[in-house]
Amino acid sequence: MITWRSIARTFQRHHAPLRAQVRQLSLLEHHSHKLLKEFKLPVPLGFLVTTPEQAKDVVSEMTYGPSMIKAQVLAGGRGKGKFNSDGKSGVRLVDSPSEAFQSATNMLGYYLTTAQTPKDGLRVDSLYIYKAVSIAQEFYFAMTFDRQRSSPVLLVSSSGGTNIESNVDSLHKIWFGLSTGITDEIHAYIQAELGFSDVEMKDIHRILVQMVKLFKQKDATLLELNPLVRTEEGEFVCLDAKFGFDNAARYRQQGIFALEERSPEQEEEHQLAKLGLNYVRLDGNIGNIVNGAGLAMATNDLIGLLGGKCANFLDVGGAATKEALSKAFGVLKNDPRVKGILINIYGGIVRCDMIAEAIIAAAAEMGGFKCPVVVRLQGTNSEKGLKLIEESGLDNVVVEPEFEEAAQMIVKLTPGVES
């Protein structure tokens, strides 16, 4: 017997991965550099390439000295990462155009694994190249929000670079105000703690002021320069940056959000989110169409408990309209893994007979269902709704008013799943 208590238990057990799917907008490095430049923060002049020939050409244009070639992926730790081609990292120093060609050949189209990527790595399709800087010292300069103190905070360290994680003790935390910015106290504190000379402090001050400006104007939640380096020549340059932006600022920051990079799966999710559908891809073969996040999670868990595996988590939201259902059916139809579908909708404000009509119309529009479909409607006018579906003449459709029975049925009807 399945009880709500057992459902609640699996719910808790399975929940962390769903929550972890909430993403923050990230930018590729070349986009980050552009944004820094727009705010007059010092970055090297870089070029984006997508072929080894271009890499060779770019490097041959650089005047005397080595160049850096950097893999463009949405993950940090590239400098300590490994390519599945030659085992070398995602940040490379090359001395000649032919070396650039060789490196680019081993990077483009291959997978780079770092501490921040999935196990099999991320595919690299473009590289960012700039003239290498001779580094005297690497610093870490970041701005983010301290939620406990409800205040923006500045984090600085004179031991920046790829080992910052093991140097967290060296971080100085400085709380600041978005309107007051870099006060004399903050200026003095940083100079004293990091040991900058008066001349250096002029550059540092300007960098900090511009960071605050960018952070504020772009609704950033994170702005991390790592490393910000002092060159042998005594200049300060940001070699790598990481941004986070407030998702709620999407409307106000359309320019930045348009730069968002998405994998094909994320793209699907994104397109659906625009239509008000919450979609999360899972790794089973039963497609779900549910209204309400709570019911969607319960459905997912009940199917799991009964020995089935869901292909997705698809919440059509409060309005189970024909448009929303058409979209949802479209997604499941395009997913070759889906071998059975459970439609589980609770009609509260929206009446079940109207939902049934929407299901019938959306199904008819795409020429009926090609796999077993179980429809469970509960709530206002549910009997009427189920009757409409039963009488619609749609193939492969079974109706069932009870949640548990409906879940059992789809697990049984879906090929390749033991009941």
- What minimum distance in Å lies between the beta carbon of 270 and ligand GDP? 25
Q: Which does 161 bind (CB under 5 to 8 A by kind): ligand GDP, Mn ion, none?
A: ligand GDP
Q: Does the protein bind Mn ion through residue 226 (CB under 5 A)?
A: yes
How is residue 243 written in tokens?
């941004």
Going through 158-204 in order, the beta strands assigned E by DSSP cover 172-175
Please tell me which residue in 128, 140, 279, 346 is annotated as part of the active site.
140
Measured from the CB atom, is 240 or 260 closer to ligand GDP? 240
Q: Residue 115 carries which DSSP code?
A: T
Q: Provide the β-strand partners of residue 231.
A: 135
324 lies in the binding site for ligand GDP (CB under 6 A): no
Side-chain-side CA neighbours of 418 within 13 Å: the count stands at 2
**Shortest approach of ligand GDP to residue 233 CB, angstroms?**
13
Residue 381 — left, alpha, or beta (φ > 0 → left; ψ -120 to 50 → alpha)?
left
Q: What is d(CA 296, CA 17) in angstroms, rounded to the nearest whole number?
A: 15
* Helical spans, DSSP H, in 122-197: 184-194
Q: Taking CB under 6 A as the rule, does residue 68 contact ligand GDP? A: yes
* Closer residue to ligand GDP in complex, CB, 62/354: 62
Among 27, 133, 220, 316, binds ligand GDP (CB under 6 A): 133
CB of 51 vs ligand GDP, minimal distance in Å: 22
Of residues 231 through 260, those in contact with Mn ion by CB under 5 A are 240
Stretch that binds ligand GDP, among 72-80, 150-158, 204-212, 260-268 (CB under 6 A): 72-80
In this chain, which stretch among 128-136, 184-192, 197-205, 277-285 interacts with ligand GDP, using CB under 6 A?
Answer: 128-136
Q: How far is the CB of 68 from Mn ion (least distance, A)?
A: 12
User: Which residue shows structure tokens 């119309």?
Assistant: 361
Residue 125: CA atoms inside 13 Å, Cβ hemisphere, count? 6
Of residues 331, 330, 356, 327, the one with CA closest to residue 343: 356
* SS3 assignment, position 357: helix
| C-beta closer to Mn ion: residue 226 or 288 | 226
Which does residue 78 bind out of Mn ion, ligand GDP, none, counting CB within 5 to 8 angstroms by kind? ligand GDP
Tokens at 145, concatenated: 């929000």
Query: Distance of CA 167 to CAs 158, 248, 399, Å?
Result: 10, 32, 60
- Interface residues for ligand GDP in 158-187 (CB under 6 A)? 161-162
Dist. CA 302–CA 284, nearest whole Å? 14
The helix or strand, by DSSP H or E, that contains position 65, with its residue range, turns out to be none
CB count, 10 Å around CB of 367? 8
Is residue 140 annotated as part of the catalytic site, yes or no? yes
Give the three-class secondary structure for 257.
helix
Our answer to whether residue 130 is catalytic in this structure is no
Phi then psi for 157, rounded to 5 degrees?
Answer: -150, 145
Number of residues that bind Mn ion (CB under 5 A): 2
Q: Which of 29, 99, 138, 224 is catalytic?
A: 224
Q: Does 77 help bind ligand GDP (rule: CB under 6 A)?
A: yes
Write each residue from 224 to 253 as x if it is in contact with ligand GDP (CB under 6 A), else as -, in one continuous string: --xx-----------xx-------------
User: Out of ligand GDP, Mn ion, none, which partner does residue 220 contact, by CB within 5 to 8 A per kind?
Assistant: none
Residue ranges binding ligand GDP (CB under 6 A):
68, 70, 76-79, 91, 132-133, 135, 138, 161-162, 226-227, 239-240
Residue ranges binding Mn ion (CB under 5 A):
226, 240
Q: Which residues are catalytic?
A: 140, 224
